[in-house]
Amino acid sequence: MNALETLQTRLRERFPSLESTLDPGESGTASWYLDVRLGNHSIVIEWRPGFGFGVTSGHEASYGAGPDERFDEPDETFRRVVLLLLAGAVTRSSTSVTQGTRTIGRGEVIYRLVVAFRRPDGGRISWMILDSKRPRKRRFKRLDKVIRELQKVLR
C-alpha cells in the first residue's frame, strides 16, 4: 500500500460516507490521483513518488495546471483535506513569483526559477527553487537562504 492508498484508507475511516476513486499511475514515476467527494464537495489529491502530494479543492483546474497546494508529508495532507472537506472550502492557485531571468550581483542571468508561494490556510510564505539540473524541488522558509543559494550560481 503506497502513501496515497494509505491516505484513502484514513479518509474513509474519518468520513464513512466519503466517495473516493483511486486513479493509479502505471509507471513507477507516474502521478497517482485520488478523487474524493463528500456531499457536493470534490477534492483531487495527487501523489507523485518522491515529490509529495498536491491538493485542489472545490473547483476545476485549468487544463494541464498543477495542484493548488503542495505538501510533503502524508499527515499534513490528511489534516488539510479533512479541513477542506469539513469546511467545504475551495483552494486557490498559489501565488507565484518567477525570477528566472532576474539578475543578482554581477548581472549574470540566473538559470534557476524561484517560486514564492503563500498557503491560503496559514498565510505562511515559503520559497521553492526549481533547478533545471536538479529535478527535485528544494523548499526554503527564509528568503536570505534562497538568495544565498542563488548566489552560488554566480560564483
Rounded Cα–Cα distance for residues 89 and 126 (Å): 22
Rounded Cα–Cα distance for residues 138 and 39 (Å): 37
67 contacts another protein (rule: CB under 8 A): yes
Which three cell numbers, joined as nine digits, stand for 71?
505538501
Which three cell numbers, joined as nine digits, stand for 102?
532576474
Binding mask 85-124 vs another protein (x if CB under 8 A, - otherwise)? --------xx-x-x----------------x-x-------
44 contacts another protein (rule: CB under 8 A): yes
Q: What CA–CA distances, in Å, run from 14 to 7, 37, 38, 152? A: 10, 13, 11, 46
143 contacts another protein (rule: CB under 8 A): no
Judged by CB under 8 A, the chain residues 2 through 41 that form the site for another protein are 23, 25-27, 29-31, 33, 35
Residues that bind another protein (CB under 8 A): 23, 25-27, 29-31, 33, 35, 44, 46, 54, 56, 60-68, 93-94, 96, 98, 115, 117
